[in-house]
Chains A and B, each alone.
Chain A
């Protein structure tokens, strides 16, 4: 593969970063959302306010933090608050425009599972659990969910509802699911997730095969704008900064 060709993961991260509008207040979840939000701040949303549930408000990390409580996040933040204050005043109080979340499983209703695969008492796979996600999903103006597309992650019904999908569009519009194959949004009629765009080079059938339910398509299906050199080099510089 050419070095200048983005990987599917890079396309996903860049497509997610493009969703942020400059100046928005963004609650950044652990994992892939962290890379996307920090990328957006380095590209076209330099005035985004990054909020981490660890208590950092207006974080300006120099390098990509590994955890959501890295020293670098706290050092340059506009304000630091306790965890109860973060959840009660800032998240629960409705001061977050965008919740940026990862997921292990998502279903057609947009419900998110980060708790267990299989039954709760005897799980096949025990996942980390809720963290801040249920309240972020319930309280943020809109939600951006990032996860890789596969029949194991896109299931008709999640094994455990950790965060509620109807909240995806409950408080405003524009909630979106970004994968390594394309972009899904809740249908305006009944909220079921439907495919609205595919990434360049991805076939609609490929997305259907990677989805565990009969996927509805919005007409017309759009194609994501190709990744630019500027976006790709910014993302790679960001990722290598995590190892400095």
Chain B
């Protein structure tokens, strides 16, 4: 990508890069989940999406419950430490509000599909899957023989989304991005995708190198958007903590179709400001 990343409003970035039917990665493993950017995609009415995350989490529960998803690629579809994702389950068990296609992996498999995607290789390789029922239900998992040892290994189809969306702690004014803490598969997702949008907690004059940080240079990104608290109810290390109370509160909100739909209309679709902890008191 020749152009330097542009710092721009989130609605502009989403409007330019996320189209109906797009293949969108929204990554962040428990930490730095790009909720605000995901909500902007929902507000703009995008539909028939293929979405990928290792852990669908509350964010994909919301996408799926609103009927915006055609196909979901994932490896763990629970509300961590709480229980089920009720909208995800309802779509699979009862086809509400529409049936969704599943491409299911283990974390190891999906991580390596991103690694392959970032490397522009057609498949990733790993030990695993042997003896499980996962390969039988997936066109994206196969087995290969090692040309050197003859060992039988698993192969996973590479993932190359149209756009990757992530949240990070910092960007500088040229659009270079730094994120730290649990960094999940965000680097791989950004490099695997054709386009990338990053929302950040703050924009600083100069990035100061942090221990255990990843720096994504501006020239691999398309848009950088200033969205403080853009990961809530997930968190951004050194800026916020995970709102575990909201993860627990999501269980009753999402259990009921009408309550879920009302909640999404009031707090996401009709909202003008990014969502925060005050949503719990409504």
Contacts and interface: CB of A to CB of B under 8 A. Distances in A.
B108 to A, nearest CB: 4
A201 interface: no
Contact of A69 (B29, B75, B130): B29
A237 interface: no
Interface stretch (B78-86, B249-257, B261-269): B78-86
Given A66-B247, A80-B212, A135 B108 contact: yes
B104 to A, nearest CB: 6
Contact of A130 (B75, B130, B181): B75
A167 B129 CA distance: 12
B72 to A, nearest CB: 11
A135 B133 CA distance: 14
Interface in B177-228: 181-185, 187-188, 212, 214
Nearest to A55: B182
Contact of B107 (A53, A124, A160): A53
Nearest to B76: A131
- The winner among A55, A65, A162 for most chain B CB atoms within 10 A is A55
A240 interface: no
A124 B93 contact: yes
B170 interface: no
A92 B107 contact: no
B30 A68 contact: yes
Given A138-B128, A163-B132, A70 B244 contact: yes
A70 B181 CA distance: 11
Interface of B: 29-31, 54-55, 74-78, 80-82, 84-85, 88-89, 92-93, 104-108, 111-112, 114-115, 126-134, 137, 181-185, 187-188, 212, 214, 235, 237, 241-242, 244, 247-248
Given A128-B85, A134-B129, A138-B130, 12 more contacts: A54-B182, A55-B182, A66-B81, A67-B80, A69-B80, A71-B242, A74-B181, A126-B93, A128-B78, A130-B76, A131-B78, A135-B108
